[in-house]
Structure 1
Amino acid sequence: MIQSPLALVAAIAGVVVLALWLERRRVPGLWKLGATLLAIAIGGVLSNTGLVPPASPIYQAITGPVTDLAIVWLLLAVNLADLRKAGGAMLVAFGIAVAGTALGAFAGAFLFGNAVGDETWKLAGALTGTYSGGSLNFTAVSRAVDMSDALFVGATAADNVVTGLWLAACVVLPRWIGRYYPAPASSEAVPPGPATDHSSQDSSPDDDESAHPLFAGASVSTHQVAILVAAGFAIVIASRAVAAITPGINPVLWLTTLALAAGHVMPSGAKRGALQLGNLALLFFFVVIGIYSRIAEVLAVGVQVLFYALFVVAVHGVLLFLAGRFLRVDIGTLCVASQASVGGPGSALAVAVAGGWRSLILPGILVGLLGYALGTYAGMGIAGALRGFGF
C-alpha cells in the first residue's frame, strides 16, 4: 500500500495522466467514457484493491483547497459582457432550458424521493447544477451540500450516461422534428473539432486543444500561470474570510461570486489558460472521489439515480422544444442551447459542429459559460427549496 504523502500525490497525478491519455488515444471500450469517469474508475480500482489508503490528509487537501481552485479558475474564464454576442434567441432558449432543468429536478424529488432517501434534496441540487451548465456546477453543489461519496459516484455515472444519450438525441432530433421549426440561419459546413467539457462525448482524442474554439489562443507563459495561481489562492482565501462573517450563506456561493467578479476585472490576457488549469485540478478531485468509493456503497445507490437524471433531462427537453415551437425558435438554436445547459460549452460546440451551424458556435459557447456562472446558484436554490419541503 502506498503510504507516503508524496507518493500518493504522484499516484493521483499518474491517474489523471492515464485518464487523459486513454480518452485521447481512442483505447477501445475506454475512451468514450471520458476523462472524468475514467479518473473516478481508476481511483476506485486503486482503493478497492488496497493499493492506496482509504483516507489521507492528501485527499482532504484535494477535495478542499484544490477543488476550490478548480472552481475559481473555470469561473475566471466567464465574461458575462460577451453575452450580447450570443443573441436574443439563444439567450431565451438557454433560459427556458435552465428553467426546464430546475422544474424537472424539483418535480423529480417528489417522484423519486422515497427511492433515493435522505439525500434527495442534495441530488436534486446537483442535477440542477450539472444540467444548467456542466460538471463544474455538479462538483460545486455536491461539495456545498456535503453529498456522500457513494451517491456522488453513482450520480456522476448516471450523469455521464444521460448526458451522452441527450447529446446523441440533439444531433438526430433536427432530422426527426426539424420540419416543425424554422430553419437555422446558417447551415454552413464546418470542420469537425473536439468538444471539451462535461460528458463522455466531450473530446476528440486526435485533435489539438490549441485549435479548439473554446481554447483558441490559449498558449500561456510562465508569468500568466503565476498570475492565475496567485489570483486563485487570493480568491479562495477571500471567499473563506467573507463566509466566516456571513454564516448564513454557503461558502461555495461566495467562492462563485468572487471568482465571477474577479474574472470581470482581470485583463483577458491574464486569464489565458484558466480553463486548462481548472479542468486539470478538477480531475484530481475526481480521482480522490474514486478512491473514496467502495463498490458495495456505489451499487447500493441503485438505478433510481439514473431514472431521476433521465426524468430531469426529459422534462428539460419537453419544455424547451414545446416553448421553442410556440416562440418559433429555430431547431439549431434549441439544440445548441439545450446542450449548453445539459453538457456545457463543449457539448454545445459539438452539436453546432455536427449540425453544420457555424453561426451558432460562438453563441453556444457563450451561453455554456453563462451556465458555469448560474448553475451553482440554481442548484443551491433547488436544494434549499426541497430541504424546506422536508426532503
Structure 2
Amino acid sequence: MVVALVAILLLTSLGWWLSHATAWGRQLGMTMVVLLLGLVVTNVTGWQPDQKAASWINGPLTSLAIAQLLLAVDLRRLWPDARRLLTPFLVSVVLTVLAVLLGALVLGPLLGEQRSVLAGVFTATFTGGSLNFVSVARTLQPPDSLLLVATAADHVVFAIWFAISLWIGQRWSRAEAAGSIEPNSDKPQPAGAVGLALLWGLAVLLAAQAVSVVLAAVPSILVLTTLALLAAQLPGGSSRRGCYEQGLLLIQPFFTVVGLSSPVAGLLGEGLPVLVYAAWIVTLQAVALLLLRRWRRWPLGETLVASQAAIGGPSTALALATSLKRSELALPAVAIGLLGYLFGTYLGLIASAVVLSPTGV
C-alpha cells in the first residue's frame, strides 16, 4: 500500500510540475495532466494501484479535499447557480436513460443475455455516479467477470468524457467564466494561513465522520457537505483563506487514480461490446446535451458541470467546476449531483427490468 501511495503522489507531483513548467501543461491544466499521466502509465505498463491505496485516496484524502473546497463557498449564491444547473442536469438524466434503452435495442445482439444487467448498472452510474453502480450491482448480482469489465468500461468512458469536458470548458467558456469570483487570489499564502486552512478542513472531516457514525443511514457525502457548508458561513473567514487552493491541490490524486484505474487493453477483447455500450451511452448523452445547449442557449460551463454531475456524480462535478475556475458552481454541482444519488439507483433497476421484459426493448 505504501509503495502504491508514494507512486500515486509522485505521479501527481509530476503532473503539478508539468502543469506549471511547460506551455502545454499550462494550457491543459493540472487536472487534465494528472489524468492523462495515469492513463498513460496504466495502459503502457499495466500497473494499477492496489485496492487499499486507491480506497485511501478516494476516501479520506478526497473527502478532505471536498471539505476544503466547500469551506470557501458563499451560501448566499447557492440557489441562483444551482437553478442554472438543474435543467441541464435533468435533461442529462433523461438523455442517459434514452441512450441506455436505445443502446440495448441496437447493440442487443452483441451484448446477449447480459444486456439487462448492463442497462441497469450503466443507467445507475451515468445518472449519479459510482455509488449507484455499486447499489444496483449488489441487487442484480452479475458474475464477477462481467462486473469487472463493466467497472473498467465505466472508468474509461468517464475519464475520457471528463477530459473532453475540461478541454471544451477551458477552450470555449473563458468568456463566461470571466465574471465568476474566485474565493482567493493566486498569491502564495503565508504558512500560518495554510496551517489554519488545513485545521479547518481536518476539523470538518473529523466532525463529519463522528456524525456519520450516529446517522449511519444518511449518505456520508451529504453529512460532509452539510457540515462544510455550515462551517463556511461562520465568522473568521480570513482563517479559511487558503482552503480553496488546498482543496484544489488535494483532489488531484483522485484523478491520478481514475487514470490508473482505466486500462483500455483489457476491454479490447471480450469486453469490447461492454465498452462500446458504455461509450454509446455517454456519447449520445453528451452530443444531444450540447446540441440542446446551443438551441436553448444554456451557458457552456453550467451545461458541462451538469453533465458531469450525472455521469460522474457530485465529487467529479465539483472537481470539474473548480478546474474550470468556476468556484461559484462548486456547491451547486454537489447539490445537483446528490439528486442523482436519490433516484439513480431506482432508474437503474427500472431500466434493467424494462430491458429484461419480453415486451421491453
Structure 2-normalised TM-score?
0.68
Task: Number of aligned residue pairs: give it.
Answer: 312
> What's the secondary structure of 2:64's corresponding residue?
helix
User: Aligned-residue CA RMSD in angstroms?
Assistant: 4.0
In the other structure, the counterpart of 2:338 is 377
1:152 corresponds to 2:158: no
> What's the secondary structure of 2:217's corresponding residue?
coil
**Alignment CA distance shift 1:165-1:289 (3 Å):** closer
**Alignment CA distance shift 1:158-1:273 (3 Å):** same
1:217 corresponds to 2:185: yes
Q: Deviations over 1:271-306 (max 9, x none)?
A: 322222222222112223333444433544524333
Shift of the alpha carbon at 1:337? Answer: 4.0
Contact 2:132–2:344 (CA under 8 A) maintained in structure 1: no
1:259 corresponds to 2:215: no
> What's the secondary structure of 1:214's corresponding residue?
coil
In the other structure, the counterpart of 2:77 is 82
Q: Which runs of 5+ in 1 are unaligned?
A: 130-140, 172-191, 197-211, 325-330, 350-363
Q: Deviations over 1:142-196 (max 9, x none)?
A: 357549355223311133235545776x66xxxxxxxxxxxxxxxxxxxx79979
Of the three residues 130, 137, 144, the one matched with 1:142 is 130
Shift of the alpha carbon at 1:377? Answer: 0.7
Contact 1:112–1:304 (CA under 8 A) maintained in structure 2: yes
Counterpart code for 1:78 = V
Counterpart code for 1:310 = T
In the other structure, the counterpart of 2:33 is 38
**Alignment CA distance shift 1:99-1:142 (3 Å):** same
Shift of the alpha carbon at 1:117? Answer: 6.7
Contact 2:169–2:324 (CA under 8 A) maintained in structure 1: no
Contact 1:47–1:53 (CA under 8 A) maintained in structure 2: yes
In the other structure, the counterpart of 2:358 is none
> What's the secondary structure of 1:77's corresponding residue?
coil
Counterpart code for 2:89 = V
1:306 corresponds to 2:267: no
**Alignment CA distance shift 1:261-1:215 (3 Å):** closer
Shift of the alpha carbon at 1:65? Answer: 0.8
Mapped partners of 2:98, 2:279: distance in 1? 15
**Alignment CA distance shift 1:32-1:163 (3 Å):** same
Contact 1:124–1:382 (CA under 8 A) maintained in structure 2: no
Counterpart code for 2:345 = G
In the other structure, the counterpart of 1:111 is 102
Contact 2:72–2:183 (CA under 8 A) maintained in structure 1: no
Q: Which runs of 5+ in 2 are unaligned?
A: 135-149, 309-319, 353-361
> What's the secondary structure of 2:251's corresponding residue?
helix
Shift of the alpha carbon at 1:81? Answer: 0.4
Moved more, 54-63 or 110-119: 110-119
Mapped partners of 1:348, 1:371: distance in 2? 14
**Alignment CA distance shift 1:335-1:271 (3 Å):** same
1:338 corresponds to 2:334: no
1:19 corresponds to 2:10: no
Going by fraction, where is helix more abundant, 1 or 2? 2
User: Residues 265-344 of structure 1: matches in 2 within 5 Å?
Assistant: 265=234, 267-297=236-266, 299=268, 300=271, 302-320=275-293, 322=295, 324=296, 331=297, 334-335=299-300, 337-339=302-304, 341-342=306-307, 344=320
In the other structure, the counterpart of 2:202 is 233
Of the three residues 83, 91, 94, the one matched with 1:100 is 91
**Alignment CA distance shift 1:109-1:381 (3 Å):** farther
Contact 2:97–2:351 (CA under 8 A) maintained in structure 1: no
Contact 2:11–2:38 (CA under 8 A) maintained in structure 1: yes
Q: Deviations over 1:206-238 (max 9, x none)?
A: xxxxxx953643543333322332332333333
Mapped partners of 1:117, 1:41: distance in 2? 32
**Alignment CA distance shift 1:239-1:157 (3 Å):** same
1:55 corresponds to 2:54: no
Counterpart code for 2:101 = F
Structure 1-normalised TM-score?
0.63
Shift of the alpha carbon at 1:66? Answer: 0.6
Mapped partners of 1:99, 1:194: distance in 2? 22
Moved more, 46-55 or 312-321: 46-55
**Alignment CA distance shift 1:286-1:93 (3 Å):** closer
Mapped partners of 2:51, 2:89: distance in 1? 38
Mapped partners of 1:119, 1:272: distance in 2? 45
**Alignment CA distance shift 1:46-1:388 (3 Å):** closer
Counterpart code for 2:303 = S
Mapped partners of 2:156, 2:291: distance in 1? 27
Q: Deviations over 1:245-281 (max 9, x none)?
A: 4443322222222222322236432332222222222
Identity of aligned residues (%): 21
Mapped partners of 1:91, 1:64: distance in 2? 26
User: Residues 60-75 of structure 1: matches in 2 within 5 Å?
Assistant: 60-75=55-70
Contact 1:242–1:254 (CA under 8 A) maintained in structure 2: yes
